[in-house]
Amino acid sequence: MSTLKLGIADDHELFRKGFISMLSGIPDFEFILEAGNGQELLDRLPANTPDIVFMDLQMPVMDGIQATEAAFERFPNIKIIVVSMYNEDRFVIHMLEKGVQGYLLKDTSPDEVEKAIRRVHEEGFYYNDFVSKAMHRKMVNRQVNKHPFFPNACNVALSSREKEVLQLICDGLSTTEIGDKLFISVRTVEGHRLRVLEKTGTKSTAAAVAFAYKNQLLS
């Protein structure tokens, strides 16, 4: 069993240490990096680059939003899961647009944190019910307020199957679960996902989902 290398950036040492301790009993999880702010995280990443970083949003020196942008720019293969006390939709949508692979609240159960880690590692994203509802509300609000689409949205035409796959991703289903539900192979699901990324011009599933909702490509 390969070990998943994890990191965390949070300015509250008590939470940070407790979070690490909470996951320390899982044999294939190893925390190789912890930082008290975004700048400290970036300074330590070259020497110890985790597979997945848990990112707080409000931190001194450099906040989680700035650190996320910089981390993705310097380390394109890194995956980031936000862990924050901010439950407002605007924070969720904004971080998804930045390309994070998941968004958890700080009162999330240990079982769900483990599930999120494994899903992000295996599928590249994790959307729980909280995130899915935030995206749905964002879509509804844009329809009510008649916000304009992004300029490129008019050139994006997803097939009905691609929309089905993307919608099920938004609903939190894994690739295997999507395949079972639609009676198609995992490879076919992955093919549809990659075409969605290509058509939307996005680099991650999270960014593609945010783009789709923001531009009302999903019903």
- Residue 65 has a pLDDT of 97
Positive or negative torsion for Cα 41, 81, 122, 75 = negative
- Count other C-beta atoms under 10 Å from residue 210's C-beta: 25
- Residue 149 has a pLDDT of 41
State the pairing for strand pair 79-84/102-105. Answer: parallel
Is there a contact between 4 and 30 (Cβ–Cβ < 8 Å)? Answer: yes
- Residue 116 has a pLDDT of 96
Using left for φ > 0, alpha for ψ between -120 and 50, and beta otherwise, residue 155 falls in: alpha
pLDDT per residue as tens digits for the range 73-119 = 999 999 999 999 999 999 998 898 888 999 999 999 999 999 999 99
| Residues 206, 99: Cα–Cα separation, whole Å | 6
Outline where the chain has alpha helix (H): 13-23, 38-44, 64-74, 89-98, 110-123, 129-145, 160-170, 175-182, 186-200, 205-214
Confidence grade of residue 136 (pLDDT, cut at 50, 70, 90): confident
Residues of the chain with CATH 1.10.10.10: 158-213
- Residue 144 has a pLDDT of 43
Q: Distance between the two ends of the chain, CA-based, in angstroms?
A: 40
- Residue 192 has a pLDDT of 93
Burial of 126: CB neighbours in 10 Å, binned 0-12, 13-18, 19+: buried
| Residues 67, 48: Cα–Cα separation, whole Å | 16
Positive or negative torsion for Cα 91, 89, 197, 143 = negative
b/e string for 100-123 if b means 16 or more Cβ within 10 A? bbbbbbeeeeeeebeebbbbbbeb
Confidence grade of residue 139 (pLDDT, cut at 50, 70, 90): low
Residues of the chain with CATH 3.40.50.2300: 2-138
pLDDT at 210 over 80: no
pLDDT at 69 over 60: yes
Domain 2-138 - what CATH class? alpha beta
Q: What pTM does this model have?
A: 0.83
Domain 158-213 - what CATH class? mainly alpha
